[in-house]
Structures are given as C-alpha cells and as structure tokens.
Amino acid sequence: MRCLIYARNKDTLWLQDYFPDLEAYLLKIVNKPLLEYALDFVSLLGVSELRIVSDNSTKALESYFGDGSKWGMKIDYALAHPDDGLKSVYLKNITYCKQDDLLIWNGCFFLQYDHKQIECSTEFQNSFYTKDKRFIFLAKDSSLSNLGPDNMLSDATCLTTHNIDSIVSYYRLSMAILKNYNKEYVLPGYSGEKDIFLGYNFVFPHSAEIHTPIMIGNNCRLQKNTLVGPNSIIGNNVIVDENSYVKDSIIYDYTYIGRDLDLDRKIVYKGNLINADNGEVIHIKDKVLVAKVDSGITVSLFNRTIQYLLALLLILLQLIPWLLLFLPYRMFMRKLDCERLINKHLKTCKFSNPDIMAKSWWGRFLLRLSLDKFEMIFVTIYKKRIYLVGNRLLTNTVKHRKIILDLPVYNPGAFSLAESVKADESNAELFYELEYINWISAHHNVKILFRCLSRRMIYGYTTAERTGRRKNATI
C-alpha cells in the first residue's frame, strides 16, 4: 500500500503569528511532530511507500523524516503549485498513485486513532473517504471520481479528524491527548507510571515536585522548590528555575523559565508567552526567558579579573612542562590541530586535538597535565578571544554551528561545565551550555576550573571525557 500526503501551506498560515520559524507539519503535539502521527498511523496500516507533496519547501521535512527507514517505509518528496487542489496533485502524481492501493492524507489535521486497536489486516475493500474528505482510501486502479455518497466513511464510527486552525485548538488538542488519550499513541519518553512521560537526562532535586499527567523531554532540569504539573508538556533542553510553578502549560525546546514565576495555561516559545485561552502574545525581555539573557552578565568585570589572574597562574605553572614535554611531542605529530568555533559569529581558531593525543601513551600523559589547554589559556591572556572558563569550545561542524546559533550567548572557554562533569554525550551538549549560562558566576567558574583539572589528573582524558558518561550533572 502507498500513501500520498498533501501538506498545504495555506492551511497553516495562522502559525506564523506564534511560531514564525517553525515548519507547520513539525508543530509538536505532546512533544511529537504533527506529521509523525500520520506516519505512525499509515505505518500501522501496512504502507510501504509514502510521498509528501508540499506547496512550500520540503527541506525541513526531509531533514527530520529522511528516507523513512525509521518508520519501515520509503519516503520521497515532491512540490506542488500553491493553487493546486487535491485533484490536481493526484493527477500530477498519477503514476505513483495508480500502482497500488492508496491512502490520501489531505491537509493539516489530526486523525484520532488508537494504535493498539489498529491492525494491518484492516479491511479496505472499497474506495471510501471521511466526511471532510481529508482522509481517503482508494483501491488499486480506482480514482477520485469513484467517490460518492455510497462509499463515505462515518467519522463517528471509525475515524475522526480534528482541525488545528488556531492556537486555541492546538492547545486543547495537546491537553486532551496528554490527559485522556496518552495511551492511544506512541509518545516520546519513558512511561513507568500512569500519565507520566519522562525523557533521558532529566534532573531534579528532592524539593522539586511533578504532578501527573505530565510529559518532560530530554535534558531537562528543575531547580529547587519548583512545581511542574499537572497537565504540563515540557520540551527538550528546558530549565525551570527556583520557586517557579508551571501548570496546564506547554514549554517548547531550549527554554529557560526564570525564578519565582507562575505559568498557568500558557504556551512558551522562545521569547513569546502565549495565552492559551485567547491567543494573546507577550514578548518577554531580559531575565525571564533564556532566549533573552543579556550577554553582559557573562563578562562582568569581577568575573573577568578572576579569570585573568587564574590564567596567569596556570601559564606560570605550565610554561616549563609545555616547553620540555609538549613542544617535542608536537614535532613528531602531524595534523594535531583542529578548528574550534570561538564566537557567536562562527569564527574559528585552531587548537590541539585531544582525541588525537589520546591515541598514544605520551599524548595521554600530556592530557593528564592539561598541557593541550596551554595554547587556549595563552589566548585568553594575549588576544582575549576566549575565556579561561566558559562555554565549551566546539569543533567546526554543521551540528555545532547550529548549537551555537541556538544559544542566547556563546562565550567559549578553555575549560567548560560539560568537561567538569564527564559529559561528552552529543545529545546533551546544548543542555550543558544552557546550564552554564544559567549559573554563570565567578564562584562557579572557579569550581568548574578545579574540577576539570582534578578530573584530568586523576582519571585522564580517555576515561573522564571520551568514554565517561553521567546522567545527572550538578554544579
């Protein structure tokens, strides 16, 4: 069986007022993209090939869904003219549509179903469609012209479609799934108890509370005396700071909720605070959302002075070992350096690559002494382009450039929080950078520095930074 999904941009224009940079069909319903529910459904029905047709760019969809192997099917993509109706799209893809039984998913909507009750042997013996003609089944060699009153499928008895045409309908659908239908779909996260879904690397102190039903994504942290839930959906890489209360709300990815806040029936997307009852939008500035953290807090005069003095001390301690041990080592090594991103504008600088050094016993010994950091420390004093302690110096890759652009500020340092807690998990990289920004202070920088140095000395680079894993990180 094949499936044709027609993703029409005009059905989702309302989203631009709330989620301006988000692809409509990647809008998250309970932490899962809308279109992924459709793929789950047609996969259960035995669809082996699927084509997504859009009157807009399919780049974001292709990046997320790829070739469809995750869903056990083959996915390809095609473009349509904005004025094309369903019949026109069907005729333009007639060769694809006629070769097998065909499911048509027409437009932006949510199809209610229970994955436990659907079997691949579901009988599709005749052409049929739902009342709104958004979900259609055509047997092989039949066509859209065959549809008539006799083969209309009753929405009430089998399949029900839900419009998502406003922020209010989006919110109501999300809450209905979380509260009443969370067992009917394959939702992200671990569900060890009823009505609770938790992602990996979720950290919270004993003083924090969560109340069901609730969903919390990956790499999230609750601080002291926080209360989250009931009826709350928290995305990935979210920090809720001390004494804050989140109830009946949706918090999108990469968000920092400040201290002493009460969020009730709200949707938070980057710098936008959306009222779920009427759609009113307030753009929050400065200290409430991490998207608006003032970069000045990370470069205070006191903090910079402390870092400068500590860097001078480390240079004095490392200068002779670096001259006697590291320079001879470098003479025998080729391509030891790798490019690191040194600011928000994605400029680069070359520094020693510890992964290469860790391949030899000599290099591992130098790593224990943190001599690979000498050049970085020198740059903090001489050129002042990086900090002694700051965000992680990320390598120059497409993935890392995207992470830096997602951060509110990026002030890289020779030493970082992620290194100090033995964290080298790629999925948690952004989480630790947000965590560092949240807790930035001269006091914590000193703790991070000495923790990095001591871990290097005791465990070495190989065990402490390359293969080390830590689920819970605290400063």
pLDDT tens-digit map of 290-321: 443 333 334 456 777 888 888 899 999 999 99
Residues 6+ apart with CB under 8 A from 402: none
pLDDT tens readout for residues 94-108: 889 888 888 889 888
What pLDDT, on the 0 to 100 scale, is given for residue 472? 36
pLDDT tens readout for residues 25-40: 899 999 999 999 999 8
pLDDT tens readout for residues 64-80: 999 998 888 999 999 99
pLDDT tens readout for residues 386-441: 888 888 888 888 888 888 877 777 888 889 888 887 655 555 567 778 778 766 77
Q: Please determine, for residue 122, whether its predicted confidence score (pLDDT) is greater than 80.
A: no
d(CA 3, CA 102): 5
Least confident range from 182-186, 293-297, 355-359, 426-430: namely 293-297
Q: Name the DSSP class of 47.
A: -
With CA atoms as reference, report the closest residue to 459 among 449, 467, 471, 448.
467
State the average pLDDT over residues 373-377: 89
Q: Is the dihedral of CA 449, 455, 460, 464 positive or negative?
A: negative
Kindly state the helix (H) or strand (E) to which residue 97 belongs, with its residue range.
helix 94-98
State the average pLDDT over residues 152-162: 63
> Can you tell me whether residue 373 is helix, strand or coil?
helix
pLDDT tens readout for residues 439-463: 677 888 888 899 889 888 888 774 3
What pLDDT, on the 0 to 100 scale, is given for residue 290? 41
Question: CATH 3.90.550.10 residue ranges in the chain?
Answer: 2-165
Q: Is the dihedral of CA 381, 385, 390, 393 positive or negative?
A: negative
Residue 464 in tokens: 């402490």
CA distance to 315, 320, 337, 368, 371, per residue, from 329 (Å): 19, 14, 13, 15, 11
d(CA 461, CA 453): 10
CA distance to 4, 33, 104, 346, 421, per residue, from 43 (Å): 13, 16, 13, 41, 41
Torsion of CA 391, 392, 396, 402, to 10 degrees: -60
State the average pLDDT over residues 157-182: 88
What pLDDT, on the 0 to 100 scale, is given for residue 76? 93
d(CA 309, CA 381): 9
What pLDDT, on the 0 to 100 scale, is given for residue 215? 95
Higher pLDDT, 294 or 348: 348
Query: Model confidence at 384, in pLDDT bands (50, 70, 90)?
Result: low
What is the CATH class of 196-292? mainly beta
pLDDT tens readout for residues 189-228: 888 788 999 988 888 888 999 999 999 998 888 988 999 9
> Percent of the chain, pLDDT > 70?
84
What is the CATH class of 2-165? alpha beta
State the average pLDDT over residues 465-471: 38
Residue 194 in tokens: 């009823």
Query: Model confidence at 152, in pLDDT bands (50, 70, 90)?
Result: low
State the average pLDDT over residues 230-244: 89
Beta strands at 74-79 and 49-54: parallel, antiparallel or unpaired: parallel
Residue 359 in tokens: 């391949």
What pLDDT, on the 0 to 100 scale, is given for residue 289? 46
Beta strands at 262-264 and 245-247: parallel, antiparallel or unpaired: parallel
Residue 453 in tokens: 């140095």
Mean pLDDT, the chain, as a whole number? 81
Question: CATH 2.160.10.10 residue ranges in the chain?
Answer: 196-292
